[in-house]
Structure 1
Amino acid sequence: MSTEPQLTRASVEAAHSLIKPYIHETPVLTSKTVDLIASTPQLPSELLGTKWESQPPAKPILRLHFKCENFQKIGAFKARGAFHAIERLKQQSNWEEIKSKGVITHSSGNHASALALASSTSLLPSYIIMPTISSPLKISATQSHHPSLISIHFSGPTSSEREALTSKIQSLTSSTLIPPYDHPDIIAGQGTASLELLSQTTPPSSQSSILNAIITPLGGGGLLSGTALTCSTTPTKVYGSEPSFQGANDAFQAFYSPTGDRITTVKSLTIADGLRTPVGKLNWEIIYHRKLVDGIYSVTENQIKSALKLVLERMKIVVEPSAVVPLAVALYNEDFRKMVEGESGEKGWDLGIIFSGGNISVEGLAKLFGEDEKKETKE
């Protein structure tokens, strides 16, 4: 159930006022080294085998501003939407009944942990449905907040399987559903990350941010649609980014299709595990039908890994694969890079990038990069 009748930038501003006591205002970092790499044309050899191999490499000038939601509570931006949803429920007349029966959600990890934290903070029972392929780190993080109030149930890996088990348990418990992304209160809450980013990149002598655009990861669409609402009254453009592996770029496909019909099923095991879900119905309404997003781009698994390695080695911060998908677009997607070059010319662009989370274990990092090291040793 939503308590938000209409989604606008004002909705995001109101959400921020509600959740400020419960969240961190995460820092915005920059890196001259990463800017230099992003502003250097790719080598022709790097474009071999791609659709751009016969074209001259793009020459964008990029100044990147990283909103580090990996430093947010539970290690991801999802805390914003979860706390907002709970705080909005508290405003309902039947709050005591809601509190007694609890809340329920389905999530591969970050939203699960976020709702577990937000609900337990208000001593509210929660039922969390997680796919069996969720990372052990995200499962243990979800269990850790208040074990006596949190009940975890495991489903199959697809979104349809998660939703089916969620419906079954909700019917048994009469708990209130708080979906991971397709929900007005969640969307407004997630938009607060970009609200802060715009404020943090506004010079003292100015009333507007220096950012020409913001690019976010795109799975279910909570973060992107919330960002689109935030920027809807500003000159700042908004872009989404997805992994292309096994059709995980469902929004990219729909966005540029003749009809714009939302794709409702995704079956992908991309390493960007937080982006394996299809974009939500309400999210798509904001992204596509309200025309609040300027474009969507996708990248390969190897490009995601390369961007992750760059952040770990050059910026010295830990982020998860889903978080670096926007950076991978800025570094490697020639369509995006040529667009920036054409839009900005010699002035270049100040581009906001939201690092959506940092929930990856040492074992997870070793698994991602271990095979590469084995190949190098054999060669």
Structure 2
Amino acid sequence: MNASLAQERTAFALTAASVLRRAETARVYEVAHHTALEHASLLSARIGAHVLLKREDQQPVFSFKLRGAYNRMAQLSAAERAKGVIAASAGNHAQGVALAASRLGIHATIVMPVTAPQVKVDAVRRFGGAFTEVVLAGDSYSDAQAEALRLREALDATFVHPFDDPDVIAGQATIALEILAQHPGPLQAIFVPIGGGGLIAGIASVIKACRPDVRVIGVQASDADSMAQALRAGTRVSLDEVGLFADGTAVKQVGDLTFSLCQQYVDDVLRVDTDAICAAIRDIYQDTRSIPEPSGALALAGLKQYVATRGVGDGTLVAVVSGANMNFDRLRFVAERAEVGEQREAVFAVTIPEQRGSFRRFCSALGQHAITEFNYRIGDAQAAHIFVGVQMARRGERDALADAFRANDFGVLDLTDDELAKLHLRHMIGGRSPLARDERLYRFDFPERPGALARFLDRMHPDWNISLFHYRNHGADYGRILVGIQVPPSEHALLRHFLSTLGYPHVDESDNPAYRLLLGA
């Protein structure tokens, strides 16, 4: 444990007033910026609240963590600087320490979990340059911290804690000073993401010292809710495992100092799931054209949940966008889940009779709803099991749609909240089928407009059967669709005529070796 930190803990407990004093003299602006407090006009209009985004993703390291890291390191004595520092981080604190080390000329050893996004690992090396050494160890921040504390003894370096340090907390608290200066008018609540608690401890302390009427509400991922559990239990708890989607806040145990401050000054802590975080990422993008990382969108996800469940009247709400160090490869997953998170997409397994005309009845039951995904493979002579995603215009429509399916005597299983189905089963529907005789396989480009599938079905020969269908909306002008059609060899000429007059671009994949190996009858 850092000596000054141990003295601070034993000498007195931090209070709102003491954090405020430290924040007012913090040295963050030698390297950090005053960030914008932007009106999220599109989201505000949609949810009926005045929403402001505190854009900490605009910092030089694309995260608020620079404030606390630099403020702590700027306080080091000449002797401490000569020995260097060591830190543990899931990524954003590491970048703050690296940039601070480079600016202050201090050698830094930084331990990061092996699960840290590569974009963050690369950024640490870039910001720190010759002053920084990166060590990868463990699967979470807590694992990395254990390794950093082990190395600290060997290196005799100062440990720069990512959250449980008075100077770090004070550095993060400068965000609250900025918010109050930028918005001196009525303010109902500030929503803050929580990992180890340094950010919310600093913000809550300053807010309660200056504007005790303003609510401070923390937000955690439901699978990494160490602060929520600690506050409920009245003591710090250590989680066995933490979810890693919101990797920047994946902390198994919150700090001593941060927990104490949160007990005193935080009004509530909300928990949000992955789909809600993905929807918040999209909301921020639509209003700012910037893409936050999952932890960076936590606060907004909580704000939206708060408004949906409690209402807000005409109050002003602030969400801290804490970071934007997003791995590009995650965007595919985020886009996949954002519609469900906003309850704009419902996912069903629908069972219809395996007979001519069933697909048309199914399309009729959909009404004006657009299909976002459609997966089917013939596998039963009596019943066809379809995985379908459907666009929702408003919340609550999915029950009505399920009723419409049942009115047509279709079996319905609502999978909208089923993680197994959304993560895995949607990609595993199909395989070989002994029923897929005389199957021809085609890739089509369907125009992304209502009625495109119905037009295809209406023009198809009534004696032909669809044995495979796969479609997923990817936001393009044309949908890429894979269709298996059972056509006797004697009718292949009719099939070619049908395809030529349909008007949809297509490719015959019937002889594709991968299809023959994995799906062919």
What's the TM-score bracket when you normalise by the shorter of the two chains? 0.7 to 0.9
Equivalent residues of 1:12, 1:189 under 8 A apart? no
Distance (Å, rounded) in 2 between the aligned partners of 1:160 and 1:27: 32
Q: How does 1:58-207 map to 2 (within 5 A)?
A: 62-89=49-76, 95-202=77-184
- Report how far residue 9 of structure 1 moved: 4.1
| Equivalent residue number for residue 281 of structure 2 | 308
Distance (Å, rounded) in 2 between the aligned partners of 1:146 and 1:326: 29
Larger RCO, structure (CA 8 Å, separation 6 or more): 1
Distance (Å, rounded) in 2 between the aligned partners of 1:16 and 1:126: 27
Say whether 1:237 aligns with 2:246. Answer: no
- Report how far residue 15 of structure 1 moved: 3.4
Q: Residue 75 of structure 2: SS of its match in structure 1? A: helix
- Considering fraction of residues, name the structure with more strand: 2
Say whether 1:212 aligns with 2:220. Answer: no
| Equivalent residue number for residue 280 of structure 1 | 255
User: Which segment is superposed worse, 176-185 or 324-333?
Assistant: 324-333
| Equivalent residue number for residue 34 of structure 1 | 43
Equivalent residues of 2:23, 2:171 under 8 A apart? yes
Distance (Å, rounded) in 2 between the aligned partners of 1:329 and 1:130: 27
Equivalent residues of 1:15, 1:84 under 8 A apart? no
- Report how far residue 190 of structure 1 moved: 0.5
Return the letter of the residue paired with 1:84: N
Task: Provide Cα deviations, 1:326-354, integer angstroms capped at 9, x if missing partner.
Answer: 21122235xx6444x3xx5x4x2211111
Distance 1:156 1:108, change over 3 A: same
| Equivalent residue number for residue 205 of structure 1 | none
| Equivalent residue number for residue 19 of structure 1 | 28
Q: Which consecutive residues of structure 1, in runs of 5 or more, have no partner in the other structure?
A: 40-61, 90-94, 203-208
Q: Residue 129 of structure 2: SS of its match in structure 1? A: coil
- Report how far residue 309 of structure 1 moved: 1.3
- Report how far residue 237 of structure 1 moved: 1.4
- Report how far residue 227 of structure 1 moved: 0.6
RMSD: 2.2
Distance 1:101 1:264, change over 3 A: same
Equivalent residues of 1:13, 1:195 under 8 A apart? no
Distance 1:227 1:266, change over 3 A: farther
Return the letter of the residue paired with 1:299: V
- Report how far residue 266 of structure 1 moved: 5.0
Distance (Å, rounded) in 1 between the aligned partners of 2:296 and 2:66: 15
TM-score by length of 2: 0.60
Distance (Å, rounded) in 2 between the aligned partners of 1:7 and 1:19: 20
Q: Residue 84 of structure 1: SS of its match in structure 2? A: helix
- Report how far residue 189 of structure 1 moved: 0.6
Q: Which has the larger radius of gyration?
A: 2
TM-score by length of 1: 0.82
Return the letter of the residue paired with 1:148: A
Equivalent residues of 2:284, 2:291 under 8 A apart? yes
Return the letter of the residue paired with 1:225: A
- Report how far residue 37 of structure 1 moved: 2.0
Q: Which consecutive residues of structure 2, in runs of 5 or more, have no partner in the other structure?
A: 339-371, 375-388, 390-469, 473-521
Distance 1:36 1:270, change over 3 A: farther
Equivalent residues of 1:7, 1:188 under 8 A apart? no
Q: Residue 304 of structure 1: SS of its match in structure 2? A: helix
